Structure 1
Amino acid sequence: MGAVTRIPDWLRPSHWGLRIRSAIAAALTVGAVLLLAAWALLGLLSRSLLRETDAAAATRADTVASELARSSVADLPGSLFDGTGQIAVVQIIDARGAIARESNPKYATPLLDPATVAESDSGRRPVAPYDEDLRVAARPVTTPTGHFLVLVGGDSEPAEHAVKRVAALVAVGGPIVVAAAALATYLLVGRSLRSVEEIRRRVAGIGAAGLAERVPVPVARDEIARLAETMNDMLARVEAGHQAQRRFVGDASHELRSPLAVVTAALELARDRPETLDAELIDGTLLPETERMRRLIDDLLTLAAADENGLELRGGDVDLDDMAAEQVLALRMRGGLTVRSEIDAVRVVGDSPKLERALRNIVDNAAAHARTTVAVTVRRDGALARMIVDDDGPGIPAADRERVFGRFVRLAADRARATGGSGLGLAIVSEIVAAHGGSVTIGESPWGGARFVIALPTGVDHPVADAP
């Protein structure tokens, strides 16, 4: 078998640039349109010229027939037999089928077989051996001296020559038009791509330290301008995400540094003074700080998973009333607060452990800030289930009620380490509730404190994975 010839890369359309592909596409399109237009033009021109030839022959035949009906063949004016313009020959055929008079001796036989002509006709082809360029008009005439047939041959050769000249002009001008269209497309696409290339160079030069830079937006309000605006919007989102990531890493490092420093100091103390490593040091310092780091790491992993792929939910029936009753009981067992509850039987479809964690975070937050009272309410409101947690603490200003769901966000009143919070609890609540297709909002409780409201759909309005 012979070796297969490899096509050079430069001949492969996939290796051509956008300018070349656009120019070739424009050339092919314009060429195809020109071919169709030329075909239609030449066809219409040919038919129009042939109709003019047939009309001239028919007019001359009508004139000769009209004169012949009033006089004899010999008395017909000679001007009727002049071969001028589009008329090539005029013949008068008698009843025997012989030529009684003709305009050109070289046409020695009738143009048509008289037996085939029963009535007036136009545009017929002559009999052999006459040139098919002739188009014959026939008019039967009955006179006092007998029956005659007037035949007039129109010459279609001038029409054919005119069509050929037009075709030649199209053949010469068509490639010029195609080449001009391809060149214009090549130049225009290149001019448009200069703006795209400028955007590309600017984006390529933007590093992590220069995310505040933006690409130039062309003055023309076209697709390139919209591309530049979209690119600037994307850069703004990347900059915001980068800044949020830096803040997140900084805050996480800060939160982990404190318990780690305490644990390290306690271990160093135990190393230098072994007698100090007693139950008080372990239970009062090491275990609480270790538990604080564990919770912080769990929270960070939960939020990282939500950022990467979204929270994975295991679906099932969840009785919110039972869940709320457990949280109320646990809060009452802690002591120190008056806990009120108003719980109706409400069931939703969702991930029970995650919903329990969200409610627990809200209840713990209320307990940490309440002065004397916390209230938990569960009720059905149409197609929604609402879990409401109120406290009589200092409340949350309206300007901060959206911000507190951010990560590592703690208000000034919540800065004390005594609360043990990392600023991630409400962020996790927001992610869990959003994954269930619900919403969480903050308002003012009847006692002037904070009111957290978790609203969840009671039906399956969101994708929920089947429980294993």
Structure 2
Amino acid sequence: MHRIPDWLRPSRWGLRIRSAIAAALVVGAVLLLAAGAMLGLFNRSLLREIDAAAGTRADAIVGELTRGSLADLPTSLMEATGQIGVVQIVDAQGRIARDSNPKLTAPLLNPATVSQPESGRRPVSEYDEDLRVSARTATTPEGRFVVLVAGDSEPAENAVKRVAALIAVGGPIVVAAAALATYLLVGRSLRSVEAIRSRVAGIGSAGLSERVPVPVARDEIARLAVTMNDMLARIEAGHEAQQRFVGDASHELRSPLAAITAALELARDRPEVLDAELIGGTLLPETERMRQLIEDLLTLATADESGLDVRGEDVDLDDLAAEQAVALRARDGYTVRTDITAVRIRGDRPKLARALRNIVDNAAAHARETVAITVSRDGDRAIVVVDDDGPGIRVADRERVFGRFVRLEADRARATGGSGLGLAIVAEIVAAHGGSVTIGESPWGGARFVVDLPVGVDQPIADAP
């Protein structure tokens, strides 16, 4: 079996060639159908004219015969002129009583078959098939006559053939012109696509601020260019966020790692100082800080890659809130107010506990002395509110604080040792449960965190393993 060359495979042809061939096929098919219909109508129109002329001559002869005799019939009515090829008058015995050509000895039609006016009949086999016979009967004092007038259709056939020849010559030219025009127009349209492609090919990681040219015409290519620019803007923003994330993570890890390294170097040079105080006061806290930071980073990386995997189980939010209130009361210097209503939802208990702990820890870190925790239910929604009496959060910063490694100005940034990832993790956990977290102003002018969760989670949640 012979293998088809690659250049003959339509899948290997470019868009311009495929479009040109498609245009040629479509135009060719339409032209062929239109030409066939036009030639058919043209031929039928010419034949109707021939039949009309023959019928008119036959009616005129019948009119003269009914008013006079056969001998008085004007000679002009018996002449074969123009579209009229043969004129015959046949008597009741089937004999030609008068005709336009004495050499024709047989009637064009069998008189016995003519009973009513007819047009467009084919003559008997003795005559050329190009003749179209119109027949009329005339009853006169001299008897019954059949008037036969034949029109010659050969000129009409020649006219149709000439038109068909012109179409056969001009049709391929029209098809070729359509294919060429399509090829050129598609090529012109693809210039914008090529400009977009070449610009995108030249954009590297160091030049993500560049954008592709947008054509003036507001068509699909212009929309493609706008969409490409939007995508480049998102990639640039993501790249910048990734760079900031890596830089911030490196900075956060450098501090505990430096403290651990310094302590170990001190213990190496002076083994006698490696005691419980150094281990418990420096090594273990800094190690725990670094461990917590790494866990936070892994949590956010998992959320970015495939979303947080939350388990589906019954969770009592009131119990989680009460646990955080007890833990906060155990610290010195805080007044904890609670208004907790029993609310049970479906969710992941460890992750919800972590989110609530992060919010309460944030409130405690910035409160002067009071933190309030409220749990309530509003229809099919569970509402958790955490208030503090700290400096609060400006409206412009209330969305930004859920970003990663975000710390606000010093009036709300006491040295808490936090990494700036806690609220980002809260946002991811709450979103994974189909809820939302917003920030407002507490009754004491501080920050108010409001967590809104569905009692029955709307989206599917994987069962606990």
TM range (shorter): over 0.9
Match of 2:261 in 1: 264
Match of 1:29 in 2: 26
Q: What amino acid sits opposite 1:257 in the alignment? A: R
Match of 1:95 in 2: 92
Query: How many angstroms does 1:414 deviate by?
Result: 7.0
Deviation sequence 1:116-158 (CA, Å, 0-9, x none): 2211111222222322222111111111111111111111111
Q: What amino acid sits opposite 2:245 in the alignment? A: F
Percent sequence identity over aligned pairs: 80
Query: Aligned to 1:149, which of 142, 146, 149?
Result: 146
Q: After superposition, where does 1:6-405 map in structure 2 within 5 Å? A: 6-405=3-402
Query: How many angstroms does 1:182 deviate by?
Result: 0.9
Name the CA shift for 1:106/1:388 in 2 (closer, same or farther; >3 Å). Answer: farther
Task: Write the distance in 1 (CA, Å) between the matches of 2:81 and 2:344.
Answer: 104
Q: What amino acid sits opposite 1:129 in the alignment? A: E
Q: Is the 8 A contact 2:51 2:134 kept in 1?
A: yes
Deviation sequence 1:143-189 (CA, Å, 0-9, x none): 11111111111111111111111111111111001111111111111
CA root-mean-square deviation:
1.5
Deviation sequence 1:93-123 (CA, Å, 0-9, x none): 1111221111123432122222222111112
Task: Write the distance in 2 (CA, Å) between the matches of 1:53 and 1:357.
Answer: 99
Q: What amino acid sits opposite 1:441 in the alignment? A: T
Deviation sequence 1:407-439 (CA, Å, 0-9, x none): 100112378673121011111111111122211
Q: Is the 8 A contact 2:392 2:412 kept in 1?
A: no
Deviation sequence 1:382-425 (CA, Å, 0-9, x none): 33211111111111111100100011001123786731210111
Q: Is the 8 A contact 2:391 2:412 kept in 1?
A: no
Q: What amino acid sits opposite 2:188 in the alignment? A: R
TM-score, normalised with respect to structure 1: 0.96
SS in 1 for 2:181: helix
Task: Write the distance in 2 (CA, Å) between the matches of 1:307 and 1:176.
Answer: 60
Deviation sequence 1:345-403 (CA, Å, 0-9, x none): 22222222222221111111111111111111111123321111111111111110010
Q: Show structure 2 runs of 5+ residues with no match.
A: none
SS in 2 for 1:74: coil
Q: What amino acid sits opposite 1:427 in the alignment? A: A
Task: Write the distance in 2 (CA, Å) between the matches of 1:316 and 1:99.
Answer: 111
Q: What amino acid sits opposite 1:404 in the alignment? A: V
**Higher mean C-alpha deviation, range 358-367 or range 347-356:** 347-356
**Higher mean C-alpha deviation, range 309-318 or range 65-74:** 309-318
SS in 2 for 1:233: helix
**Higher mean C-alpha deviation, range 297-306 or range 327-336:** 327-336
TM-score, normalised with respect to structure 2: 0.97
Task: Write the distance in 2 (CA, Å) between the matches of 1:194 and 1:408.
Answer: 45
SS in 2 for 1:152: strand
Match of 2:464 in 1: 467
Name the CA shift for 1:325/1:148 in 2 (closer, same or farther; >3 Å). Answer: same
Task: Write the distance in 2 (CA, Å) between the matches of 1:104 and 1:467.
Answer: 109
Query: How many angstroms does 1:325 deviate by?
Result: 1.9
Q: Show structure 1 runs of 5+ residues with no match.
A: none
Runs (4+) of structure 1 moved beyond 3 Å? 414-418
Name the CA shift for 1:333/1:160 in 2 (closer, same or farther; >3 Å). Answer: same
SS in 2 for 1:39: helix
SS in 2 for 1:69: helix
Q: What amino acid sits opposite 2:78 in the alignment? A: F
